[in-house]
Amino acid sequence: MLCPYCAKDDDKVIDSRASDAGKSIRRRRECLACGRRFTTYERVEQAARVMVVKRDGARQPFDREKIMRGVVSACGKRPIAEEIKQRLVDAVDEVVHREFDREVPSQVIGEKVMEKLRDIDEVAYIRFASEYYQFRSVNEIRKQLELLDGRTKDVKQQTKLFE
């Protein structure tokens, strides 16, 4: 493992433990060259790669890092912890690999991300939705905001029923 600080390939594992409910292994490492510590994660690679079918029909391997980049971009400077973003990506990754064997439409991935973002942060949701839906006018954005506002009111009304 290359040290992220000095790029040397000389480290030792200090601690290993299960993470993400046993789905990955978290390892604390110490670089023997510079002495700094860093964390790595080890995950099981899926035997058969799931291919993403893009809108234009092109196919490419599923890449959870692309989802993370989209989420980070949508969140911008919003006060959303990295752990929450990582859990969102983990949840979408899990759904994709559980529900699809070989191919998954990119629209399904986008909808799953938006579903999760909607519950985390409305502004991040709108930012992501604007890229996903490729809004062409303010009216299209307004319609999406109205749907979001209606959903928020429904949730508040449902919450009042349980008080």
Average pLDDT over residues 117-145: 86
Contact between 132 and 100 (Cβ < 8 Å):
no
Q: Give the percent of the chain with pLDDT over 90.
A: 62
Largest CA distance in the chain: 61
Kindly report whether the global pTM for this prediction surpasses the value 0.75. Answer: no
Residue 159 pLDDT class (50, 70, 90 cuts): very low
pLDDT tens column, 6-19: 999 999 999 999 98
For the chain, the average pLDDT equals 87
Residue 31 pLDDT class (50, 70, 90 cuts): very high
- Give the E-state strand segments of the chain in sequence order: 11-19, 24-31, 37-43, 51-53, 59-61, 103-105
Contact between 50 and 103 (Cβ < 8 Å):
yes
pLDDT tens column, 20-29: 778 789 999 9
Task: Write the DSSP string, 120-160.
Answer: H-HHHHHHHHHHHHT--SHHHHHHHHHHHHHHHHHHHHHHH
pLDDT tens column, 58-113: 999 999 999 999 999 999 999 999 999 999 999 999 999 899 989 999 999 999 99
Rg of the chain, C-alpha, whole Å: 20
